[in-house]
Chain A
Amino acid sequence: MEWLNPYHLQVASFVLINAILGVSIYVTLSTGQLSLGNAGFMSIGAYTAALLSTQHQLPIPVGILAGSLLAGAAGILVGIPSLRLSGVYLAIATLGFGEVLRAILINWESLTGGAVGIPAIPQMGRVILVWARDRGFTPESLGLQSNQFISLTVFLILLLGTLLTVAFFLRLSRSRVGRAYAAIRLDESAAAAAGIPITYYKVLAFSQGALLSGFAGALFAHSTSFVSPGDFTYHRAVEILVFAVFGGSEHIFGPVFGAAFLTVVPESLRAISEYRYILYGILLVLIMVFRPQGVIDPALLRRFRRPGKGTPA
């Protein structure tokens, strides 16, 4: 299988991690809240997973679980004080939180390795390859070279993670909790008057987003094998924002599309890649002015489902 190009698989893997990150900011946006700290929560997941596997030799799944849960808990801690007030406070507070976290990551060298970061994190694909080899399996038996096998394995694991994430939140959006989220987003006061506990659901959505970011971070650590504070800057937080805002902030397929499109296009058009962030900035303004709901919105999806019938309202 020579067509299985590890480079393509790597890009696809980044698409998947970015998709999870996009969904993480989408979840909080679905209650009308903007979190700019998801790079920070991502770093919590990444560093937790990295430290647990390198310093304490714990198995990869443990690190991923712990990283996600820790990030979610941090989400609760950050969310509760900030959510008592308007959404702007949350955006700024989360932004600040991300920066504080990064300052800690850089300065607490004994724990985090400082600006240099943590190298040699067990890579998911390689660990599985070794495990398989120990049982007598060789990638050649599938017609694959080692590096193809490794990239493919990582891709499949990430694919599973992404599919589970999307399925989970798609189901959630159609349930009682999903209706509560949507009501809060549309009109907080009316939602409260209708009997929905606003703060509870806002904190819930926020910590879910934080948990997802942590999950993506842990996966990131075990895919790239190396984390440093430079992976979790404000630029990362903005990038995540653009995935959801550009891709579509009213349906879960939006951030997935946004992540895919904005990860693949700069890879294929090298010339654009240099001006990536400039384009992000322009995109954000253009989307807000001309199509605030993003590219993928419920109306567009309805048109795909029943091409003949008109769209209701």
Chain B
Amino acid sequence: MSGLLSLRNIGKSFGGLSALSGISFDVEPGEIVGVIGPNGAGKTTLFNVVTAIYPSTAGEVVFDGEQIGGLPPHTITKRGISRTFQNIRLFSSMTVEENVMVGRHCRTGSGVWRGVLRTRGERREEQGIRGKTRELLDLVGLSGSDRGGAAGSLPYGHQRRLEIARALAAEPRLLLLDEPVAGMNDVETQEVFGLIKRVQSLGVTILLIEHDMSLVMKACDRLVVFNFGRKIAEGTPAVIRDDPQVIEAYLGAAGGTADA
């Protein structure tokens, strides 16, 4: 039947160009599902459809039993889906802490008057936000000395982790990670692997786009393989690794292992 996230026959066209067609698969609660495939296969497009950056042109996205197709992005986040971006979209001139605090927005409620008058309730809420922010920065491994600095001045690897912290601040049930270890070396990748596993242990379901096959094979419970906007295979990492169609897709697109 349907899991936490159920994609049913999703199609997406831009003008005449078909970026996705007939995408159907489920993500069960607690899983880490990897979405892999050559560049341009439609993986990020799928994330964009799920998070309503643009609507699908066909099919349905069902989250927790409800169709979320026409909802605006912020509502989808409030429902429990958070994401990171392929090309990191932090609020670079805000501090590290402020970035995560922004992520708390949909779980808090102080409006204009409570904010200006600094009511007791608002101050308590702000304290709560700061506390949760500290927790999350600890979780992703961003140390205290970094936290007051501008997000844009962090080293690349730390920026990716900050983006994950911001996404987690919204208390998602489903986290969409778009190439979280792109451009990282083996040590950093291993750290992010640990982070992903920690996040899973907190009860968050994860959908992961990645090219780094070592990470994908280790971290994911299941894999979905895309090519040319279609799903060409689905299964456990062991099965996928030996699937001839998958091998051909990767070899056909000039070699398959870790490339950013």
Contacts and interface: CB of A to CB of B under 8 A. Distances in A.
| A adjacent to B, CB under 8 Å | yes
Interface stretch (A138-146, A155-163, A179-187, A213-221): A179-187
B76 to A, nearest CB: 9
B155 interface: no
Contacts of B51: 193
Contacts of A135: none
B91 A192 contact: no
B124 to A, nearest CB: 12
Contact of B115 (A178, A189, A191): A178
A31 to B, nearest CB: 13
Interface residues of A, number: 26
A71 interface: no
Main secondary structure of the interface of A (DSSP, over half): helix
B18 interface: no
A194 B150 contact: no
A204 to B, nearest CB: 7
Contacts of A178: 115
A103 B111 CA distance: 37
Interface string A165-190: 00010011001111110110011011
Interface string B103-144: 101111011101111100010011001000000000000000
Interface in B73-123: 73-75, 77-78, 82-83, 85, 89-94, 98, 101-103, 105-108, 110-112, 114-118, 122
A1 interface: no
Given A177-B112, A179-B102, A180-B105, A171 B118 contact: yes
Nearest to B116: A171
B72 A176 contact: no
A195 B73 CA distance: 7
Nearest to A179: B102
Given A171-B115, A179-B101, A190-B89, A313 B153 contact: yes
A260 interface: no
Nearest to A192: B73
| Interface core residue of A190, A197, A198 (most chain B CB under 10 Å) | A190
B74 A197 contact: yes
Given A171-B116, A186-B92, A313-B150, A196 B74 contact: yes
A187 B163 CA distance: 13
A305 B45 CA distance: 46
A252 to B, nearest CB: 13
A136 interface: no
Contacts of B194: none
Contacts of B105: 176, 179-180, 183, 194-196
A190 B91 contact: yes
Contact of A192 (B74, B85, B129): B74
Contacts, number: 106
A182 B126 contact: no
A198 B78 CA distance: 13
A194 B115 contact: no
Nearest to B100: A194
Contacts of B92: 186
A191 B149 contact: no
Contact of B89 (A172, A187, A198): A187
B51 to A, nearest CB: 6
A204 B112 contact: yes
B59 interface: no
| Interface core residue of A171, A180, A194, A204 (most chain B CB under 10 Å) | A194
A196 B150 contact: no
A176 B75 CA distance: 18
B89 A176 contact: no
B256 interface: no
B22 interface: no
A244 to B, nearest CB: 18
Contacts of B117: 171
A312 B112 contact: no
Contacts of A196: 74, 102, 105-106
A172 B73 contact: no
Q: Which 4 A-B pairs have the closest CB atoms?
A: A175-B115, A195-B106, A313-B150, A195-B77
Given A171-B116, A191-B102, A192-B74, 8 more contacts: A171-B118, A176-B105, A179-B102, A183-B105, A193-B53, A196-B105, A198-B72, A312-B148
27 contacts: A171-B115, A172-B112, A175-B116, A176-B110, A177-B115, A179-B101, A179-B102, A179-B105, A180-B102, A182-B98, A183-B91, A189-B53, A190-B89, A192-B73, A192-B74, A193-B51, A193-B73, A193-B77, A194-B82, A194-B105, A195-B77, A195-B78, A196-B105, A196-B106, A197-B72, A197-B74, A197-B75
